[in-house]
Amino acid sequence: MKVVDSCGWIDVWAAGPHVAIYAPLLQDPNDILIPSIVICEVYKWMLRERGLSKAATVLAEMRKSKVVTLDVGIAVSAAALCRQYSMATADAIVYATAIQENTVLVTSDKIFDGLPGVIYHNKIGQPTVRKI
């Protein structure tokens, strides 16, 4: 199981620069955990950039995976991560979800580079892997 950050979902559905990296990761819905905040971010982006039909298509695909809702444990952990790493709340919720679920976070968001339990793909697509 893995958590794929919003940037990965958007790259796949919008043919972004990392589509070749993220598309294989999103092949098996049974291997993906999706923080509910990722659904919000991706749906919002798709709605704004690609319209309602595309946003609905992406939402239907995302719902095939296990959605992890924000609970008190994740919220408290995310608050601590915000403070510790000076993260935005949404980023901290995504990271806290991966930590709670004891899985890796795959992302291209620079804020996560070097953090434990993160597979970070830089701009040229080379992963930086840190142990959990």
Rounded Cα distance, 61 and 115, in Å: 28
Q: What is the model's pLDDT at position 128?
A: 54
Average of per-residue pLDDT values in the chain: 93
10 Å CB burial of residue 123 (0-12, 13-18, 19+) is exposed
- Which tokens hold the place of 58? 């992406």
Range of the domain at 30: 2-129
- Which CATH number do you get for residue 108? 3.40.50.1010
CA nearest to 31, candidates 66, 63, 67: 66
Domain count, the chain: 1
Task: Provide the pLDDT confidence category of residue 45 given band limits of 50, 70 and 90.
Answer: very high
pLDDT tens, residue by residue, 55-111: 999 999 999 999 999 999 999 999 999 999 999 999 999 999 999 999 999 999 999
Residue 122 is predicted with a pLDDT of 84
Residue 129 binned pLDDT confidence (cut-offs 50, 70, 90):
low
